[in-house]
Amino acid sequence: MARLQQRRAQFIIVVALLYSLFILNRLVKPKRLATTQLLLPELGRHTKFQLPPYLQSVEDAGIDPAESIALFDKNSDAEQGSRPSQKAKKAGKLVSKSPLSSRYPEDKYTDFLWRCRTGEPRAAEVFDTFLSLKYKIFEVRVESERYPMTYNPSIIALPPSSHYPFLIVARVRGGGFFQESVICEGKYIDEPFVNAYGFEVMNRLIGCATNPRVLTVPQTPARDCTGIDYMSDVPGYHDPRIFWSNTGAPLMMFNQQSRYGCFGLWLIDLRSVYPSLRYRVTRGLLNQYPTVMELTRIEGRNPIEKNYLMFYDADTGAGYVQYELRHGSRHFSRLIGNGLTTSNMTSPLEATCIGEDAIWHQATNAIKIVMCDYGQCEPEPENTVYLTFLHKKEIPETFKVQYKRYVAVWKATAPFEMIGFGSKHIRFDNEDEWEQKFNVEGRFLYTVTVAWETNMNRYEGYLNENVVISMGVGDHGNAAVVMPVRDLFTCMSSCRGQP
Ligand SMILES: *[C@@H]1O[C@H](CO)[C@@H](O)[C@H](O)[C@H]1NC(C)=O
């Protein structure tokens, strides 16, 4: 009997020991937060958020968009007397009501886009495969003792109340994965320079007028970097792009660890991280992005997202994010607050205007242009367009990446149909020299941003006004071109077929 009790006691001790080991193990082992435990805004809720009329009507009619294009053509026959079918009638109504209803800039505003002749505009020289614009690339100097090398500059014009005309943000080139970007205010600097013939000439550049200093933004956690785990810990944001919003807010879009994937695009109002801007922008202007806010993408999100751009409806002022634009596909959504977006709002009737199926990267911003010289017309949706640069990425046999820049233009009101796309890529006058000078690792000048050269306290600009096109030289230099925006509209193909 005593023996049995002893056995039982032993058994209890063993069980208690095992149990306490189990508890200890749970306590000591670091607990990993399952990714699904992160609270994320519910995206599905927004997928059907107020479809625009051009998408609604397609759904209502219950017909395939491709079919409706065909029917639209048939419908014109119908007008010439043949008996329209019930379906064609429906489609006819549909087409006239919506997809083509965004006001087209009248031909008189866009006729000059399709010209493709050397000397027209004066600055253009047309070659077989590219268009050379006779504007010089010059240096953008962002450096300090601590940061001797920076690249991929993004430049905007500061409001008239500023000491210096420009604001510049550039990436610091350093060792390892660590990412840093600096900010400074810039101005034109004319520097004496002895040319190849021994003459002293003036060299114009844009340089920092204030000491470049590190621009920090709050860090964010990655949701899931499976397969590229090291990236979830890379400190610092990258690819900063600065631009003005339509209401005059200084915004910065950048790439950082994503709450929806591994890397994503985030926005912040620069007034939050560069406070002296507060006193220079419209007084009392709401700060919609007081801290970092991630831009969502409902369809087709990749673990690593890049190169979004923002633009605004010229009628309603609503903001849009364009995620991609390439051969046969376009994707943009409307911003509904706090960085959240609707689902794809691209019209299914959008004609593909980019002929070549290649790797296309869009520059991060787009500018709004009124298609006349300043003072010659009143800005209206009918004469206003958006322009951005698109890069075709090529990796030729030399394994040196090349980016060829093209111009893309679309309407300023929903559904923002494409109007034209460059039929040739654009090179600047002395681009060869720049490529040779930096021909170390890569051979490319990447267009980072395009912005108006002077800040007139307005979002849109006019054909006769200058833009600053900022460019990264490989991964180790900064450059820019300043030119009238009109000359970028050269040698384009019309998205309506033959003009
Ligand atoms: C968005 O819609 C357009 C037009 O229907 C289509 O071309 C594009 O592929 C769509 N993109 C995504 C990611 O759904």
Per residue in 277-289, pLDDT tens?
999 998 889 999 9
Taking CA atoms only, the protein residue closest to ligand 1 atom 5 is 348
Domains of the chain: 99-494 (2.115.10.20)
207 and 186 Cβ atoms separated by less than 8 Å: yes
Ligand 1 atom nearest residue 343's Cα: 14
Ligand 1 atom nearest residue 348's Cα: 5
**CA 362 / ligand 1 centre spacing (Å):** 16
Residues 78 and 72: their CA atoms lie apart, in Å, by 10
**CA 202 / ligand 1 centre spacing (Å):** 50
Taking CA atoms only, the protein residue closest to ligand 1 atom 10 is 331
How distant, in Å, are the alpha carbons of 241, 294, 370 from that of 338? 19, 8, 29
Ligand 1: residue of 54, 331, 495 to mutate (most ligand atoms within 8 A of CB) is 331
**CA 444 / ligand 1 centre spacing (Å):** 30
Ligand 1 atom nearest residue 352's Cα: 7
pLDDT for the residue numbered 464: 97
Question: Of 148, 145, 143, 152, which Cα lies nearest the Cα of 189?
Answer: 143
Pocket of ligand 1 (CB under 6 A): 299-300, 329-331, 344, 346, 348, 350
**CA 289 / ligand 1 centre spacing (Å):** 27
**CA 114 / ligand 1 centre spacing (Å):** 27
Secondary structure percentages of the chain, helix, strand, coil, to 5: 20, 35, 45
What's the CA angle centered on 434, arms 429 and 436, to 5 degrees? 120
pLDDT for the residue numbered 232: 80
**CA 417 / ligand 1 centre spacing (Å):** 13
CA atoms within 13 A on the CB side of 177: 8
**CA 83 / ligand 1 centre spacing (Å):** 34
> How many other β-carbons are positioned within 10 Å of the β-carbon of residue 360?
19
pLDDT for the residue numbered 65: 46
**CA 352 / ligand 1 centre spacing (Å):** 11
319 and 252 Cβ atoms separated by less than 8 Å: no
Token pair belonging to 94: 């549909």
Token pair belonging to 418: 């494409």
pTM reported for the whole predicted model? 0.82
pLDDT for the residue numbered 443: 56
**CA 366 / ligand 1 centre spacing (Å):** 20
Ligand 1: residue of 342, 346, 495 to mutate (most ligand atoms within 8 A of CB) is 346
pLDDT for the residue numbered 438: 74
Taking CA atoms only, the protein residue closest to ligand 1 atom 14 is 299
Ligand 1 atom nearest residue 332's Cα: 1
Ligand 1: residue of 296, 330, 332 to mutate (most ligand atoms within 8 A of CB) is 330
> How many other β-carbons are positioned within 10 Å of the β-carbon of residue 362?
21
Tens place of pLDDT for every residue, the chain, 499 residues? Answer: 677 788 898 999 999 999 998 888 877 765 554 544 445 555 555 445 556 666 665 555 444 444 444 333 333 333 333 333 344 444 444 433 444 456 678 888 999 999 999 998 999 999 999 999 999 999 999 999 989 999 999 999 999 999 999 999 999 987 677 889 999 999 999 999 888 888 999 999 999 999 999 999 999 999 999 888 878 878 889 999 999 999 999 999 999 999 999 999 999 999 999 999 999 998 889 999 999 999 999 999 999 999 999 999 999 999 999 999 999 899 999 999 999 999 999 998 888 899 999 999 998 899 999 999 999 999 998 899 999 999 999 887 766 788 899 999 999 999 999 999 999 999 999 998 888 877 655 457 899 999 999 999 999 999 999 999 999 998 889 999 999 999 999 999 999 864 4
Taking CA atoms only, the protein residue closest to ligand 1 atom 2 is 346
Task: Provide the Cα torsion 53, 54, 56, 59; round to 10°.
Answer: 170
pLDDT for the residue numbered 411: 95
Token pair belonging to 168: 């510049």
Ligand 1 atom nearest residue 329's Cα: 7
**CA 109 / ligand 1 centre spacing (Å):** 29
Ligand 1 atom nearest residue 323's Cα: 13
Residues 279 and 250: their CA atoms lie apart, in Å, by 12
Taking CA atoms only, the protein residue closest to ligand 1 atom 11 is 331
Ligand 1 atom nearest residue 299's Cα: 13
Question: Of 186, 174, 185, which Cα lies nearest the Cα of 149?
Answer: 174
**CA 402 / ligand 1 centre spacing (Å):** 27
Taking CA atoms only, the protein residue closest to ligand 1 atom 7 is 329
pLDDT for the residue numbered 173: 86
**CA 397 / ligand 1 centre spacing (Å):** 32
**CA 329 / ligand 1 centre spacing (Å):** 6
